[in-house]
A = this chain, B = another copy of it.
């Protein structure tokens, strides 16, 4: 059968499963999630065996140690996946929530009810645990999912999906709720993103080039984020101890992630008190500093930042530093260079904190806290399927609720328009 037919059939099966999925009780879905977790733990050896096939191919292909590390499944990571499924089971089911209900003058009772999106195409790279996370979140929110993982993790992804599907079948749920594209042919992505008659949304997760490719070519609506160029602005009225701790955490605690700080903006009037100790601490931690001319004038031995540095997502121990004359200059810099992901202000001034919250157009805006909190778990949404930096449908971390929409239900007694 040609690949296009295979994938189209998968999509039709996924749509078919929606009818059953959208009326499942939370208890039924949670039972499936619990069984999915149990299966992963029971079948650890099989998982590790299949994962080893991916690992030996990765080593032959000369993948970096970091990549191989992300690909590796062991007892601990498998336990983590199982716990993740149980955490999703413990989250509140968004489906069926009545988000509002009101009576119209003609007596119609109108409500909005949360429903699943339908069929989700999930395209991702590298880490096989994402297979389990995505499948769990889609199932709990009543959606069918078609998974398309990276070729480097294909054996791991296939066995994980097999185990999950076995569990959902055993619980009496539709087997086609979770499907995976088993070919590593990249053409599969092209086919999947063209199925706008069968899919409701595509969620790509991975490098910027994958996401840009999917966004440019998809006929199905896409939920995505490209990158996080996150700023912390240390204001004139900052508590400098808090500023030190927050900036250090935002840059160093995990520099390879999208919510790490890439640029630190400092109000001129406190730069002399704040920067020398802060930059020393950064440099001791191995952070390369790239400074604006004023920073270079204040502290010696710093590399000058070039224009291309300001909009860059380094995902590394590199930090651009800029001294600004006032909060307006900080806000202008953010408006120009931020990726609308996460920005923070450190200040004890009430009006400046409120102004920053109101004017900064990013998915998460913080006062006196680290940018690293832009994360579904940290913000209290539970597990997340991604972070959206475009505004349609979702802006910021996407949890279960973001995998749903609402429909209107209307209770009448014979009302007509005429």
Contact = CB atoms under 8 A, between A and B. Distances in A.
Interface string A6-49: 00000000000011001100000000000000000000000000
B221 A416 contact: no
Contact of A396 (B396, B397, B408): B408
A417 B23 contact: no
Contacts of A414: 239, 241-242, 245-246, 368-369
B357 A409 contact: yes
Interface string A243-267: 0011011100110000000000000
Contact of A364 (B242, B369, B408): B408
B395 A104 contact: no
B200 A390 contact: yes
A107 to B, nearest CB: 9
Nearest to A364: B408
Contacts of A410: 364-367, 369, 373, 379
Nearest to A222: B221
- Chain copies in the assembly? 2
Given A104-B379, A391-B405, A412 B23 contact: no
Interface string A315-345: 0000000000000000000010000000000
Nearest to A200: B391
A64 interface: no
A220 to B, nearest CB: 9
Given A361-B22, A412-B366, A415-B370, A407 B395 contact: yes
A307 interface: no
A378 interface: yes
Nearest to A379: B110
A363 B242 contact: no
A301 interface: no
Contacts of A390: 200, 221
A416 B250 CA distance: 8
A291 interface: no
A93 to B, nearest CB: 14
Nearest to A105: B380
Interface in A109-129: 110, 113, 115, 117-118
Contacts of A250: 416
A373 B110 CA distance: 10
A187 interface: no
B373 A417 contact: yes
Interface residues of A, number: 73
B368 A417 contact: no
A76 B347 CA distance: 55
B392 A200 contact: yes
Contacts of A407: 361-365, 395-396
A283 interface: no
A359 interface: yes
A393 B392 contact: yes
Contacts of A416: 245-246, 248-250, 253, 369-370, 372
A378 B23 CA distance: 28
Contacts of A391: 117-118, 200-201, 405
A406 interface: yes
Contact of A249 (B219, B366, B418): B418
A373 B108 contact: yes
A411 interface: yes
A413 interface: yes
Nearest to A96: B358
6 contacts: A18-B361, A245-B414, A364-B407, A368-B413, A370-B416, A370-B417
4 smallest beta-carbon distances between A and B, as pairs? A369-B412, A249-B416, A242-B414, A393-B393
Given A362-B407, A369-B415, A379-B410, 10 more contacts: A108-B373, A108-B379, A110-B380, A115-B395, A221-B222, A364-B407, A373-B410, A393-B393, A395-B406, A396-B407
